[in-house]
Amino acid sequence: MNSVFSFFSPRDKKFQPLFERDIRNLVEISESLVKTVSEENPELRNKHFKETERLEQAGDDISHTIFLELSKNFITPFDREDIHALVSAIDDIADYIYATSLNIELYRINSFSKEIVELSALICNMCRHLETAILELRNLKNIKIIADICITINKGESEADSLCNTAIAHLFESETDAIELIKQKEILQSLEMATDKCDDVANVLESILIKNA
């Protein structure tokens, strides 16, 4: 296990700035999702989708850079497995948000249920909290902030489950067009998966806290 000392070592200048770029990019992806599901004009919505796509690729590049650094560096600020899990989970959140936006385009969805709008706002909120927590990894001086955010994320994930389940039950009760049901169900489920992955990030943060604080 790495000592706290390593936070002040020169190595740290490599990883922490990359984590911060990665989570900033994710916040922007989640903001782009909120804009997408709030936009009634299909052409303007397509612009938000293109932006999500660009950001998702930028996120892939950041993940890739971090994995390369992991391969090259023997000393890392946290356990290698935690860094790998952290970056993979952030990448997964981005992937599920992108998949949602892509499906909105592919399925030509033009109106968004209350639950889709609420889930999108919830994800964006969770990503902003995760950014605050990751900025705290810089020095781990205020670990209570990180611990509290982990609890908030955990509650958010339960709320998302509940929102998604209600929406799906409602869909199967009221939607008689099977193709429309498939579309809506898939969008709800990819949003819900994004919140699951936010919870994975919170779990890694908790593991980092225990080992390093």
Beta carbon of residue 9, minimum distance to a copy of itself (angstroms, whole number): 19
Give the footprint of a copy of itself on residues 99-138 (CB under 8 A): 102, 105-108
Q: Which is nearer to a copy of itself, 124 or 133 (by Cβ)?
A: 133
In eight-state DSSP terms, residue 176 is -
What is d(CA 52, CA 18) in angstroms, rounded to the nearest whole number? 20
Q: Which residue from 6, 58, 65, 67 is in contact with a copy of itself, where contact means CB under 8 A?
A: 67
Q: What burial class does residue 161 get, using C-beta atoms within 10 Å of its C-beta: 0-12 exposed, 13-18 middle, 19+ buried?
A: middle
- Alpha carbon distances (Å) from 161 to 14, 66, 119, 136: 36, 31, 9, 28
Q: Which is nearer to a copy of itself, 127 or 204 (by Cβ)?
A: 204
The answer to whether the beta carbons of residues 32 and 54 sit under 8 Å apart is no
x-or-dash string of contact with a copy of itself, 151-190, rule CB under 8 A: --------------x--xx--xx-xx-xx-xxx-------
Q: Is 75 left (phi over 0), alpha (psi -120 to 50) or beta?
A: beta
List of residues 6+ apart from 115 with CB closer than 8 A: 163, 164, 166, 167, 188
**Could you tell me how many residues of this chain bind a copy of itself (CB under 8 A)?**
29
Give the footprint of a copy of itself on residues 43-62 (CB under 8 A): none
Q: Which residue from 41, 43, 74, 141 is in contact with a copy of itself, where contact means CB under 8 A?
A: 74
Contact status: 72 vs a copy of itself (CB under 8 A):
yes
Chain contacts with a copy of itself (rule: CB under 8 A): 1, 64, 67-68, 71-72, 74, 102, 105-108, 165, 168-169, 172-173, 175-176, 178-179, 181-183, 203, 206-207, 210-211
